Homo-oligomer: A and B are copies of this chain.
Amino acid sequence: MQPGSNEDEWLEDCAPRRVLELFSTKWTSMVLHCLQARHGGEARSGVLERSLPGISRKMLIQTLRELEASGLVEREDHDTVPPAVDYRLTPLGTLMVEPIELVYAWARENAPALDALRTRPTSRRR
């Protein structure tokens, strides 16, 4: 991988970069994971909100909007009163969830190791 090659495109304003930035917002991955693992890829707004204890409505909607704009989630308004809106993973979104689930699985599996090593106060020995 020689210097100057465009192998390091990932550090500029490219797709990988932007995807990562998407995930740097607090709730993105949890919304996706929740949508998939708990509701099979589709859920009503309120249901989703109740599935994510601690999330504010503002952030729920905002996160869903970003996911929608990125083509990972689809919004369906049933045009009823009272309002009823479904959010569903797009095919693209479904693909995206896979790596996320891997991270979850990994974290769950290595929880002991992670817990053990986490509490020590960043030991700078010597």
Residue interface bits A15-47, CB-to-B below 8 A is 1, else 0: 110111001111001100110011000000000
In contact, B106 and A99 (Cβ under 8 angstroms): yes
Which one of B37, B68, B96 contacts A106 once the chains associate, using CB atoms below 8 Å? B96
Within the complex, what minimum Cβ distance (angstroms) separates A122 from chain B?
A: 5
Inter-chain CA distance A1–B117, complex, in Å, is 31
Q: Chain A interface: which size bin? A: 35 or more
Question: Given A1-B37, A114-B71, is A8 in contact with B51 using a C-beta cutoff of 8 Å?
Answer: yes
- Nearest residue (CB) in B for A14 is B111
In the complex formed, the residue of B with least CB distance to A25 is B24
In contact, A106 and B114 (Cβ under 8 angstroms) = no
**Apart from A1-B37, A95-B106, what are 16 other A-B pairs with CB-CB below 8 Å?**
A8-B38, A10-B108, A15-B107, A15-B111, A16-B107, A16-B108, A16-B111, A18-B118, A19-B103, A19-B106, A20-B30, A23-B23, A24-B25, A68-B122, A69-B118, A95-B110
A–B pairs, 18, beta carbons within 8 Å: A10-B108, A11-B54, A15-B108, A15-B110, A15-B115, A16-B107, A19-B107, A20-B103, A23-B24, A23-B29, A65-B122, A70-B117, A70-B118, A71-B117, A95-B106, A95-B110, A98-B102, A98-B106
